[in-house]
Amino acid sequence: MAKLNVNPTRMELRRLKTRLKTATRGHKLLKDKSDEMIRRFMLYIRENKRLREEVEGELSGALKNFMLARAVSSDSVIEEAIAMPSTKVTLDVSSQNVMSVDVPVFEITKQEGSALYPYSFATVTGELDDAVASLSALLPKLLKLAEVEKTCNMLADEIERNRRRVNALEYVMIPQLEETIKYITMKLDENERGTITRLMKVKSMLENKQ
């Protein structure tokens, strides 16, 4: 591992030692953060998987019902029936902090219309009622899925980023600092020994002269 390009002085040594201490502490903290993020991620991803499977099943069913309704009545009847929906779904959007990642949180604020079905029952068949009812019941779950899946996406990204940081500290920064500190210590010791031998030499020369 390459050492840093610095002057072998005491001042530099002290500076590097502080940096090493900070790096080691940062490494430990980031590693702990990574562990906790993975734990949270596992919780979320399990829920994500469960919700995803449920939603896919139910949604396919609801959409199939709707297709059936379209097959029974003519296109124009269906389009007219749902052209003016009686409800309007809006969301309260905010964000929540999960392990320093801002993830979305929704709250459904359904503007209650007069009825769920925006059409007259006389014109369309029962299949459409079924489709609309099941889809409407599915919406909260769908939004929950959106929330959880986004959280998983963002957590996965953050975990990957964090892992890079941990590795950079562990395999690059810390070894580099340790190497450089060792190099400076050796150099300083060597200088010290050089000075002592020089002094001894001078002393013996002086004694020989007398």
Partner 1 sequence: MREGSIAVVGDKDSVLAFKAIGLDVFPVEGEMQARETVHTLARTYSVIFVTEKVALQAETYIKRYKSRAYPVILPIPSAEGSMHLGLDGINANVEKAIGANVFVDGKED
Q: Does 54 bind partner 1 (CB under 8 A)?
A: no
Q: Does 78 bind partner 1 (CB under 8 A)?
A: yes
Contacts of 210 (CB under 8 A, 6+ apart): none
Q: Is 188 exposed, middle or buried (0-12, 13-18, 19+ CB in 10 A)?
A: middle
Using the 8-state DSSP alphabet, how is residue 6 labeled?
A: -
Number of shown-chain residues binding partner 1 (CB under 8 A): 66
Distance between start and end Cα atoms, the chain? 52
Separation of alpha carbons 8 and 184, rounded Å: 5
Task: Give whichever of 51 and 181 is closer to partner 1, judged by the CB atom.
Answer: 51
Q: Which of 4, 6, 20, 45 binds partner 1 (CB under 8 A)?
A: 45
Using the 8-state DSSP alphabet, how is residue 73 labeled?
A: S
Comparing CA positions, the residue from 178, 189, 187, 185 lying closest to residue 2 is 178
Q: Does 118 bind partner 1 (CB under 8 A)?
A: yes
Q: Does 135 bind partner 1 (CB under 8 A)?
A: yes
Q: Which residues bind partner 1 (CB under 8 A)?
A: 37-38, 41-42, 45-46, 48-49, 52-53, 55-56, 59-60, 62-64, 66-67, 70, 78-79, 81-83, 85-93, 95, 102-104, 106, 109-111, 113, 116, 118, 128, 131-132, 135-136, 139, 142-143, 145-147, 149-150, 152-157, 159-160
